[in-house]
Amino acid sequence: MVIHPERKAQRALQRMVGAAGVPVEVAADAASAAIDDDTIVIADAAVALSRQPARAWIAVPGEGLAAAEASIVAGLLESGCDHIIAHPMPVLSEELLATVQKLLKRDVFGLEKYLTWSADVRSYTLEDALERDVVVSEIAREVVTMGLPDRVGSLVSVIADELLANAIYAAPVDDRGERPHLGTARDQSRSLAGRDAVTLRWATDARYVALEIRDRWGSIDPAACGKRLAKAQTSAGGMGLPLAYACCNQLVVNRAPGALTEMVALLDVRYKPTELGRAASFHVFVGEAP
């Protein structure tokens, strides 16, 4: 179900979603849209702020499908919206189709869903918490070696560092649901074997640089996560995830509760940052661990 007040935007969105091979209905407002628990709703951001029960809501930019204002994205994050697309065309189109397909196929994990077939995926498994620095430096070096600007290498290192730190120190939970490693000194060695295993994969297809970080805990709280990201200006505490979000163009949380959290961060390397949305897109998917 596409809900958008502009007829031109309705047509464009209908075409994009239609590419997923499913019937698409359109409506100008929520009141005239038939929505049930099985409906995937693609709606103008203002409409998506007051959501009703559905299978999923995907918020897209409003007027003219131009980039969404940062304040609108913040409002959607605060309200717990699971799918927020902030960017204008053609990024909107790519992101929307990938989101719809992931929801329809219930196949959510893997950075490959955002890249073309030609991308060479590189993989790292951390065996000790102290390897974080080495891995971060290595992928930043690889990114620049591939001809991407230093600016991108710098953003990649911040994102990788923060998401790896989350996977190593924030993801593990004990029997009481507490997070025993949150206060662990970052210069301490700790084996990352078994359930503590953390992996990083990354690739670029010259459209995006995609980073994927996995832990085996599936303990992330997406609602709390959205609220933290909503604060454009952060306080000093707990700013790792907001910082990673601020550095990327799309942050995707894929989770199998209790089993796996996969964070995918995408950096668009085709366009100048000013040609994209001021805020990054954000998605939360739930699926079965592969």
Partner 1 sequence: MRLDVQVAGNRVTMTGRIDDSATFADLPARLPTSEIVIDTGGVTFVNSIGMREWIRLLRGLRETGRRVRLDRVADVLITQMNLIAEFVGERAVTISSFHAQYVCPACGAESAPLVDAVANAPLLQQMKVPAMPCPECGAQMELGDFPERYLTIFKG
Nearer to partner 1, 90 or 273 (CB): 273
Phi, psi of 271 (to 5 degrees): -110, 155
Pick one of 240, 263, 281, 284: the residue that binds partner 1 (CB under 8 A). Answer: 240
Only segment of 6-14, 45-53, 84-92, 149-157 that touches partner 1 (CB under 8 A): 149-157
Contact 31, 16 (CB under 8 A): no
Selection from 208, 224, 213 nearest residue 254 by Cα: 213
Pick one of 187, 189, 193, 194: the residue that binds partner 1 (CB under 8 A). Answer: 187
How many residues in the chain? 290
| Cα 223 to the center of its chain, rounded Å | 13
**For residue 177, is it left (φ>0), alpha (ψ between -120 and 50) or beta?**
left
Pick one of 32, 50, 145, 274: the residue that binds partner 1 (CB under 8 A). Answer: 274
CB of 162 to partner 1, least distance (A): 6
Pick one of 122, 186, 195, 270: the residue that binds partner 1 (CB under 8 A). Answer: 186
Place of tokens 């940052």: 273
User: Can residue 195 be called a binding residue for partner 1 (CB under 8 A)?
Assistant: no
User: Can residue 144 be called a binding residue for partner 1 (CB under 8 A)?
Assistant: no
- For β-strands 26-27 and 2-3, DSSP reports them as parallel
Only segment of 28-36, 160-168, 211-219, 248-256 that touches partner 1 (CB under 8 A): 160-168
Place of tokens 């990083």: 200
* Interactions with partner 1, residue window 78-107 (CB under 8 A): none
User: Can residue 34 be called a binding residue for partner 1 (CB under 8 A)?
Assistant: no
CB of 253 to partner 1, least distance (A): 18
Only segment of 20-28, 33-41, 83-91, 156-164 that touches partner 1 (CB under 8 A): 156-164
Question: What Å distances lie between residue 7 and 32, 180, 262, CA to CA?
Answer: 14, 53, 37
User: Can residue 168 be called a binding residue for partner 1 (CB under 8 A)?
Assistant: no
Instruction: Identify the sign of the CA torsion 105, 111, 116, 117.
Output: negative
Selection from 225, 223, 227 nearest residue 75 by Cα: 227
Q: Which residues pair with 214 in a beta bridge?
A: 199, 262
User: Can residue 147 be called a binding residue for partner 1 (CB under 8 A)?
Assistant: no
- Which parts of this chain interact with partner 1 (CB under 8 A)? 133, 149-151, 154, 157-158, 161-162, 165, 186-187, 232-237, 239-240, 242-243, 246, 272-274, 278
